[in-house]
Amino acid sequence: MKRTVLYLSLLLSATSLKAQVLNGGINTNGSQTNAILTAVPFLNIAPDARSSGMGDAGVALEPTTYSTFWNPSALAFLEDGKNISLSYSPWMRKVTPDANLGYVNFTQKVGLRSAIGFSLRYFNLGEINVYDYNENALGSYHPNELSLDAAYALKFGPNFSLGLAMRYIRSSIVRSGASIDGANGKVGNAVAADVSLYYRKPVEQFGKTGTFSFGTNISNIGTKMSYYNVGPSYFLPTNLKVGVADMIQLDDLNQFTFAFDINKLLVPTPPLRDQNGNIVKGKNDDRSVVSGIFGSFTDAPGGFSEEIKEVAFSPGVEYMYNHIFALRTGYFYEAPSKGNRQYLTLGAGFKVKGFNLDFSYLIASQQNSPLANTLRFSLNYNFK
């Protein structure tokens, strides 16, 4: 479907990233433009229906094929030999009627202590008529983004594992050859890595058996991305996830899992500047990737109180019956001044003869949220 959208490509500015912004001042991950803007925010969109049904909590859940995204180190604890997964989500249909996110993933155990995973993410934004700030027509094209991942996990003892994922990212949101102020547009390319750890231990709680898990994943540590042959380059959405999960087996048929994740972008917070571009509060955000990661904890213009607002929370719960049928719910909270994504999620899953089918549904807290009524569908098959 062709439509007219004011799609702000990467305008050449030393202090402001105006990419990934859609009609109405919405970023392509569903956050408002008061969020910290980065290139390719689609990399942090939950691809699977299970975790998205639990409020986007997943870094400490028991391993699945989707651990390649959530926590590569958890792959070492997979019990099945080979798995393939597919997921699909129509995305922000109130804003972009033909946008969608697709994901395919393959995992395999390698011996008793390790596992590998491979995945492809494809984010399609449909066909778009493009205009610049002055409403000059830039033509139409099909913006899209993708990433290719390869992950490896190794178990160190019965309870602990480490993981590494490598990633190639391609972002075609600026039409090649499009010119702004003498700069020619090009496809953005970058490489990145994830480093993660996972810990799980059988426990007894309230007289019932269960499993406690802890996980953390620093994702998208990589090169900056540029969209023009001259001008600045921009940070990837380097992200820190930390979470816990607690599974309680009530009896042979009934099981509950409680999960809680926190997330923080590890990129610089833009400073406050005067009309001349001089910094009046905060720190310069034009820095190296390493400096951006470590400085992201102390660079907010509003100090510690603003740093806390940059942390998003995801509590979730899952009820499983007989390892066949599951019901899920959760909540995602992001501060109003840092993107304002707030939504309740619901989900369900079924398992039949090696197939797992899951779906989730998002109920936004705000009226007219671009994420309202988002559906995700996931299918997994185990090759035994």
pLDDT in tens, 288-324: 999 999 999 999 999 999 999 999 999 999 999 998 9
Query: With contact defined as beta carbons under 8 Å apart, do 154 and 74 qualify?
Result: no
- Nearest-CA neighbor of 93 among 123, 125, 121, 130? 125
pLDDT at 1: 37
E-assigned strand segments in 70-113: 82-90, 100-110
Q: Are 76 and 153 in contact (CB under 8 A)?
A: yes
Structure-block tokens of residue 261: 């994740």
Instruction: Encode pLDDT of 206-229 as tens digits.
Output: 888 999 999 999 999 999 998 888
Looking at residue 181, what is its pLDDT?
Answer: 66
Alpha helical stretches, state H, the chain: 49-52, 67-70, 289-295, 304-309
Alpha carbon of residue 35 to chain centroid: 14
What is residue 82's three-state secondary structure?
Answer: strand
Q: What is the pLDDT of residue 102?
A: 95
pLDDT at 183: 72
3-state secondary structure of 383: strand
Q: Using 50, 70 and 90 to split pLDDT, how confident is the model at 130?
A: low
pLDDT, mean of residues 107-122:
94
Residue 276: its pLDDT value, please? 82
Task: Give the separation between CA 52 and CA 261, rounded to whole angstroms.
Answer: 12
> pLDDT confidence of 24, banded at 50, 70, 90?
very low
pLDDT, greater one: 134 or 280: 280
Nearest to 317 by CA among 260, 376, 375, 253: 260
Has residue 269 got a pLDDT over 50? yes
Q: What integer pLDDT is reported at residue 313 of this predicted model?
A: 96
pLDDT at 307: 93
Is residue 377 very low, low, confident or very high in pLDDT (cuts 50, 70, 90)?
Answer: very high
pLDDT of residue 185: 78
Beta carbons of 355 and 383 less than 8 angstroms apart: no
CA distance 375 to 361: 5
Quote the mean pLDDT of the chain: 87
pLDDT at 9: 35
The confidence band for 284, taking pLDDT boundaries of 50, 70 and 90, is confident
Token digits of residue 60: 């400490």
pLDDT of residue 222: 96
Q: State the pLDDT at residue 138.
A: 63
Distance (Å, whole) CA 379 – CA 299:
42
